[in-house]
């Protein structure tokens, strides 16, 4: 699915993830509170949360 075919809600989540990761790179870390505040609840359900944490760790963000 191209970016133009995505639902508007998906754009919001992608933008939030990008901002969150940028903040993490700048600070060198992210708190669980920052993650939960930045992302909508449905973006943190089940495996999505684990994948987000794995991505953060993979990027060298503590």
Distance, in Å, from the CA atom of 25 to the CA atom of 61, rounded to the nearest integer, reads 6
Residue 44: partners with Cβ closer than 8 Å, 6 or more residues away: 35, 36, 52
Which has more pLDDT, 51 or 42? 51
**Residue pLDDT, tens place only, 19-45:** 999 999 999 999 999 998 988 888 788
Q: How confident is the model at residue 2 (pLDDT cuts 50, 70, 90)?
A: very low
List the one residue out of 28, 22, 32 whose CA is nearest residue 53: 32
Q: Is the pLDDT assigned to residue 8 strictly greater than 60?
A: no
Count CB neighbours of 24 within 10 A: 21
Considering just the CA atoms, what is the radius of gyration of the chain in Å? Answer: 12
The domain of 32 spans 3-58
Task: Please count the structural domains in the chain.
Answer: 1
């Amino acid at each position: 699915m191209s970016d133009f075919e995505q639902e508007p809600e998906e754009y919001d989540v992608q933008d939030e993830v990008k901002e969150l990761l940028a903040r993490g790179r700048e600070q060198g870390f992210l708190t669980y509170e920052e993650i939960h505040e930045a992302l909508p609840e449905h973006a943190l359900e089940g495996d999505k949360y684990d994948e987000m944490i794995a991505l953060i760790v993979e990027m060298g963000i503590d």
